[in-house]
Amino acid sequence: MEREFTAPRHGPLVRRCLVVVVAMFGFGFALVPAYRIFCEVTGFQGFIAADGSDRDRGGYVGAVDESRTVTVELVASVNGRAPWGFAPVERRLEVHPGALVTTRYRAVNETGEPRAWQASYNVAPGSAARYLGKPECFCFQRQEFEPGEARELPVTFIVNPDIPSHVKTVTLSYTLFDLEG
Amino acid sequence: MSSVATHPDHGAHAAAKPRGFLRRWVLTTSHKDIGTLYLLFSLAMFFIGGAMAMVIRAELFQPGMDFVDPYFFNQMTTVHGLVMVFGAVMPAFVGLANWMVPLQIGAPDMALPRMNNWSFWLLPAAFSMMLVTFFLPGGAPAAGWTMYPPLVLQTGMAFPFLIFAVHIAGISSIMGAINIIATILNLRAPGMGLLKMPLFVWTWLVTAFLLIAVIPVLAGAITMLLTDQYFGTSFFSAAGGGDPVLYQHIFWFFGHPEVYILILPAFGIVSTILPAFARKPLFGYTSMVYAVASIAFLSFIVWGHHMFTVGMPTAGTLFFMFATMLIAVPTGVKVFNWLATLWRGALTFETPMLFALAFVVLFTIGGLSGIMLAIAPVDFQYHDTYFVVAHFHYVLVSGSIFAIMAAVYFWLPKWTGVMYSERLGKLHFWTSVVAMNLVFFPQHFLGLAGMPRRIADYPVEFMEWNMVSSVGAFAYGAAQLIFVWTVIQCMRGRGKPAPAKPWEGAEGLEWTVPSPAPHHTFHEPPKVV
Ligand SMILES: [Cu+2]
């Protein structure tokens, strides 16, 4: 039995391998939304749904639970040593679950040049993150400031009444990232 | 596809090699020449990465040395890791596969010879790109071989060079892997069923599948780094709503299978050499094959063990901890099969056997420290200490590299047609094995005592063991010169002529062709019984 070595066709096998390669390259990118969903569902890393969308149970609209109050602490920090003043106008709020609350953060450009920043936020404890909805916030948006300008930026949030009763305090933290540096 | 098709009359010039340096080496499509190129490239990288290790150990010889700038020290640890993983160990295994897979399965060449040439020549391009960064303003990458953001994004001009170098090396690996898969699945001699393949071929088949599955994931992760840096995306940037921890998940999804890419072919080599010098067939061939396959499968679901201290839900910690410990089962099967192969064998201790035996003992030490690290609560103590450094050097130096050395001594007579000097080979082995343990065993103690890795200095109480480690490192480096000399002597044809089968107990088709293996082999497929 003589086999001819000139004949084997590798095309189909190679194509199948290439499909694996392309699919796994895509898989790496698919991990990005997968990770975000994982974090939103579990509250891991303090993520909450970026826009208070329906998937986020924090985006609750309904009755206000007057029988209970939750303390919401507001925290601000500036990443690195960027020349920005950044602080919450109110440091702590007593809120009823279900009530829409608006508060403000104040930012000051401490330099003599026009400058911009962008902020991220985080919620602690992680197990409470999914119950904090933010219909409106300045996060992840470029904020342009004139030299020396000070401005207050509103944050609107709502604590979902489903929040477990052992959670008495929720911390909402914003971090300012300088965009010039 | 196959270039062999263009030479219907190969029989007429079966022994002729192409003339001239360019046609013989640069344009070659011969699996043997390309295998040689891969191995020589890997040897060069082994010495370049090794030189960096010498700088690291010189700096750590005493506290407060200031032999090099601390920032340069960080460049050394980073590039040492990248060069050794992607430039030395992986190409060495690909080189061995190029040489031996066609010979072991009775194929005339690799399935895609021209792509084979390409996949080799991408490597010098990739590593020139990586090493040239030492001469750029700001120097080479210094953020660790794992390239974690945000730190890696602070790399200066070297950053795009680093990313593209890893991309190109990755493309080379993927092409090599596809070629090996096509060769093994399509070109086996008639009669060689899958479960008759030598274990080196089996382990490489599984490794090749791992490569095409995870190198693209690494490529995706570093592409995201690139777009975060230059195109305003925020995959890993907290300011834009991304999360740097995500990078670690993606990286280690690649990274854990990668460690098996670096060790499975070594398992194949040891499973070939132990039976040859024990003069007994391998114990438990089929269970070896299944063990390799299950190790490969499990490698996809354990990446979180690199991230216990980063933080994850308790359920995740438990899952990754137990899944990781599960890998000890198939690995244990392999170790016990090797021991059973040796049991009551007629053992002789030529150099390949010595390296293979040292592999079994020392790799097992590395495996056991791996299990210790897999225990999440314990890992909080060991994480990022020299204990981790000791662990992965036991599996990579006395594991992968010892297996590569064993393979080179084992097959060198087949490649060059002469026997290497057994006296020098044994000298190389004994100096290597003593020095290797001097370097890395004390690092266990340093790690348990809390010495952190990747830092250019340390408190005085760590001095003694660091000195031992550094002295061992210099000795290990020097011992490798014996190896180079031994190989050069064989390449120059100095030595006793080797018979077709220089090892009494060796089995396999590669020993049916003359030594040195002629330029063309198995144009008539051999009969496999
Ligand atoms: Cu791992």
Task: Render each residue's pLDDT in chain B as its tens digit; 529 residues.
Answer: 333 333 434 444 445 677 777 777 888 889 999 999 999 999 999 999 999 999 999 999 999 888 999 999 999 999 999 999 999 999 999 999 999 999 999 999 999 999 999 999 999 999 999 999 999 998 999 999 999 998 999 898 999 999 999 999 999 999 999 999 999 999 999 989 999 999 999 999 999 999 999 999 999 999 999 999 999 888 998 777 788 999 999 999 999 999 999 999 999 999 999 999 999 999 999 999 999 999 999 999 999 999 999 988 888 899 999 999 999 999 999 999 999 999 999 999 999 999 999 999 999 999 999 999 999 999 999 999 999 999 999 999 999 999 999 999 999 999 999 999 999 999 999 999 999 999 999 999 999 999 999 999 999 999 999 999 999 999 999 999 999 999 999 999 999 999 999 998 999 999 999 989 998 899 888 887 6
pLDDT at A43: 65
Active site residue B145: yes
Name the closest residue on chain A to residue B238, using Cα atoms: A120
Q: Which of B31, B42, B57, B145 is catalytic?
A: B145
pLDDT score for B156? 87
Q: Where are the beta strands (DSSP E) in B316-397?
A: none
Q: Residue B331 catalytic?
A: yes
Interface of B with A in 196-255 (CB under 8 A): 212-221, 224, 234-235, 238-241, 243, 245-246, 249-250, 253
Measured in Å, residue A142 CA sits from the centre of ligand 1 at: 39
Taking only residues 117 to 146 of chain B, the set having a beta carbon closer than 8 angstroms to any beta carbon of chain A reads none
What is the CATH architecture of A70-178? Answer: Sandwich (2.60)
Report chain B residues whose CB lies below 8 A from the CB of A14: 1, 112, 178, 182
Q: Which residue matches tokens 């039976």? A: B275
Residue A122, φ and ψ in degrees, nearest 5:
-155, 150
B80 is catalytic: yes
Query: Does residue B227 carry a catalytic annotation?
Result: no
* pLDDT digit string, tens, across residues A16-57: 999 999 999 999 999 999 988 887 777 666 555 444 443 344
In this complex, the residue of B5, B111, B216 whose CB is nearest that of residue A25 is: B216
**Closest to B433 in 3D by CA, of B377, B357, B491:** B357
Q: Return the number of other C-beta atoms located less than 10 Å from residue A13's C-beta.
A: 16
Q: Does B471 touch chain A (CB under 8 A)?
A: no
Nearest CA in chain B to A6: B5
Q: In Å, how far is A65's CA from the nearest CA of chain B?
A: 30
Question: Which three-class secondary structure string do you get for chain A?
Answer: CCCCCCCCCCHHHHHHHHHHHHHHHHHHHHHHHHHHHHHHHHCHHHCCCCCCCCCCCCCCCCCCCCCCCEEEEEEEEECCCCCEEEEECCCEEEECCCCEEEEEEEEEECCCCCEEEEEEEEEECHHHHCCEEEEECCCCCCEEECCCCEEEEEEEEEECCCCCCCCCEEEEEEEEEECCC
Centre of ligand 1 to C-alpha B151, Å, is 21
Bond before B91 cis per omega within 30 degrees? no
How many whole angstroms separate alpha carbon B324 and alpha carbon B327? 5
pTM value is 0.86
- Residue B135 DSSP one-character state: G
